[in-house]
Amino acid sequence: MKEMLVSWDILRNANFSPIFFLQGDFGVGNLKVVLRSLETNFKGNIRAVFCSSNNPTEPYVVEREVIGSSVDIKIPNEIFQGFGKVYCRLILKNQEKTKILGSVQEVYFHVVEKKDWEFLEPLLPGNEKEYVQDVVDELYEILKNSKQELKDYADN
């Protein structure tokens, strides 16, 4: 099971580090959302809308009941069929689902095409997490464009 931690202060923005999933890894993805700035003993509902850059016209919706300040959201298997950047919009509502308490739409992660995985795996985060994440993001974009651009990047 791969879990992506999202710390969301509902009065501000969500903090997270994007992670990578492998295309076709069904049943392994999970978002662990930790909610901040909520009343104690909070009860409500959270909706996660997943949309892949590979297929932007087909969103997938998951709704979960929230009791307390943490909720686990299983990422739909359909998201792992294609590859690309996956955006997730989170909407928090009260228990009756009549009032939106907060929403955030900057949460995202990547689904890597199987043939690219061997190339990226050695670069996955270690001690220099932020640097490695930037390099991997840049390489991922270059791979989508052209081999010549990748060669130019490597030469530099």
With a cut of 70, say whether residue 148 has pLDDT above it.
no
As given in the structure block, the two tokens for residue 57 are: 């016209």
Q: For residue range 74-102, list pLDDT tens digits in order.
A: 999 999 998 999 999 999 999 998 899 99
As given in the structure block, the two tokens for residue 110 are: 């990547």
With a cut of 80, say whether residue 108 has pLDDT above it.
yes
Rounded CA-CA distance 3/141 in Å is 23
Contact between residue 34 and residue 8 where contact means Cβ atoms under 8 Å apart: yes
Contact between residue 88 and residue 108 where contact means Cβ atoms under 8 Å apart: yes
Q: What residues does each domain of the chain span?
A: 2-112, 115-156
Bridge partners for 71 per DSSP: 33
Q: What pLDDT score was predicted for residue 14?
A: 93
Query: Which helix or strand (DSSP H or E) is residue 106 part of?
Result: strand 100-112
Calculate the average pLDDT of the chain. Answer: 84
* CATH 3.30.1360.230 for domain 2-112: no
